Chain A
């Protein structure tokens, strides 16, 4: 038993070490465009594994990511921009004095972004998790809309629909990749603990979980707040990567994309969420050639913008037809190496 755990730990360390090496190799050797995509993949990995915690592992259908990512992005942007830069770019209304005073370094900005998101998640969970059913999906869907509308209609804080620009570009592959590794590690640690077991139990049979003494309200709240925290951090990284954010960035499509990722990878599997991110975010870039004119030898097709989304949807339909549980199902990486056991 002990030896198995040790072996597992060695494998984990090897994976982390090779990921770190890859981050170093990519940021020193790859061109800017590739690094950009890798940055996106890293950020979406953070978002996907955390979204999967509430949606896949705990089985509470939720549509929250765009709301919390928006909050994280705005909090980080406001903390990173200095007073002069804010004063300069707030065109619609002049900012509140306290908005000008907000200032923190990158680490604290990300931390506040996450904390603020999870505090909001905590307040949402009190009304939502007292009842069962799909209320969470409805409430979080509405929450996303509300956040967007608040961002548009409070130009004194958010600069309205113009958004925030010239955010210092702190995000690089070391930050995004490093935090992604930490996020995956942390989420896997949760999943492989009594809390993760309780989350799965809530997903499988909530009544039976209660009959085992599990405080299901607490477990659901933990999962939701953890998701929100990492989504806030991911939003912060995104803001510091894109250098400009606006309310239009955080529409429902953002959540939808993450939903595709975790369903494709396999709801409930953290490994699947990572694979799904690489396929969807990386694949969407790779499939860009589909939008362009194509020469098939016999005939030439004109440029068709959006063609890759059509192909993408087709792939998704095929995955759902032939692998309904997604690529990984509910399995993790380690389950693939177990022999003769399911």
Chain B
């Protein structure tokens, strides 16, 4: 067990976005968070990453409580994320985008960088080498010096995941990674996530609408509907579940 949410509730004014949700994600699991639009999936992400504070309940990561911590502190504890709409640093090269992920891992001070102390060169060399390794893993090392936004959509998605992995996370949160991708790209992405889990020792929590993608990839899913948990279990069982079908397609039973 790596991440545990205990009775998490989030209210925006009078609207309850998440209502008393409890679930646990085990180590090295690929866990899917699904549900119709407005179900509270992204809100859930924002609570885990510390962008929102939960109104009630606890978020526990590696038996440490995350409530009240600053978002950048949570990243340093090992939770990295990607965004629903790709958010690369648009004036920077692919390399620099990935190097930002190493920001807190490069050990030199501001003073040392101004006066170019030896430690600066050593640390820069070290993180550059690791950045190239990650880019190589994703097959985009040849674009290292290109501007990140000049790449194709699929490649930009890879840069974003590479950048998240640069923070050396134990857990990766992917917000609709397959959105806007064609079936071939989606398939490649699913393969990439699965191999990255082994190679980087990752636990993955992802939000996705593409049920085929979820079916292929996820070990377990949680279905949310208007902030309420309506199903937790295997993805293949989820599509057979009456309540899940009702949430997605409308409730036929009462018609």
Contact = CB atoms under 8 A, between A and B. Distances in A.
Interface stretch (A28-36, A194-202, A287-295): A194-202
Contact size class for A? 20 to 34
24 contacts: A193-B113, A194-B106, A194-B113, A194-B124, A195-B110, A195-B113, A197-B100, A197-B103, A198-B103, A200-B92, A201-B92, A205-B89, A207-B87, A208-B83, A208-B88, A208-B89, A211-B49, A211-B164, A212-B80, A213-B104, A213-B167, A214-B72, A214-B104, A342-B147
A216 interface: yes
Interface in A215-230: 215-216, 222
A91 interface: no
Given A189-B116, A210-B71, A222-B110, A205 B104 contact: no
A207 B91 CA distance: 15
A127 interface: no
A204 B75 contact: no
A337 to B, nearest CB: 13
Nearest to A211: B81
Contacts of A211: 49, 71, 75, 80-81, 83, 164
B114 A189 contact: yes
A152 B91 CA distance: 44
Given A201-B92, A204-B91, A204-B92, A212 B113 contact: no
A193 B120 CA distance: 8
A194 B102 contact: yes
B150 A200 contact: no
Given A193-B113, A197-B99, 15 more contacts: A1-B128, A186-B115, A190-B114, A194-B103, A194-B106, A198-B100, A200-B91, A203-B91, A204-B90, A205-B90, A210-B72, A212-B163, A341-B145, A341-B146, A342-B147
Name the residue among A201, A205, A208 with the largest chain B CB count within 10 angstroms.
Answer: A208
Contact size class for B? 35 or more
Name the residue among A215, A330, A338 with the largest chain B CB count within 10 angstroms.
Answer: A215
A320 B160 CA distance: 33
B247 to A, nearest CB: 29
Interface string B32-71: 0000000000000000010100000000000000000001
Given A211-B71, A211-B83, A216-B72, A197 B113 contact: no
A200 B71 CA distance: 19
B208 interface: no
